[in-house]
Amino acid sequence: MKRLLLRKIQFALEHHGGSASLKDIYTYVEKSYYQLELDRYKDWKAHVNKQIRAHSSDSASFNGTEDLFYSTGNKGIWGLRQSNH
């Protein structure tokens, strides 16, 4: 399910031209609320935010694996890193 959520976050950023506010990302992701099983989480928005931070080398929470997102420098605005393929 995590992989599906990451793809949905990437689609949200692509939909908004490569960068978006957390609010815009949440709105986009929420359309797939049940498909993504977000009802499993007490605070699904915090879970989405956690996944973004875990996959961004700009965050202290970076998990060291896939570096998918970047901080634009504006609070709450994230961007999609370009893939290497």
Using one digit for the tens of pLDDT, what is the confidence trace for 19-67?
Answer: 999 999 999 999 999 999 999 999 999 999 999 999 999 999 999 989 9
pLDDT at 43: 97
As given in the structure block, the two tokens for residue 75 are: 């609070």
Q: Is 42 exposed, middle or buried (0-12, 13-18, 19+ CB in 10 A)?
A: exposed
pTM for this entry: 0.91
Encoded tokens for 36: 């993504």
Dihedral (C-alpha) 33, 47, 12, 75: value to the nearest 10 degrees?
A: 140
**In the prediction, which pLDDT does 2 show?**
80
> Tokens standing for 8?
């949905």
Kindly tell me if the per-residue pLDDT of 84 is higher than 70: no
**E strands along the chain, which residues?**
19-21, 69-71, 77-80
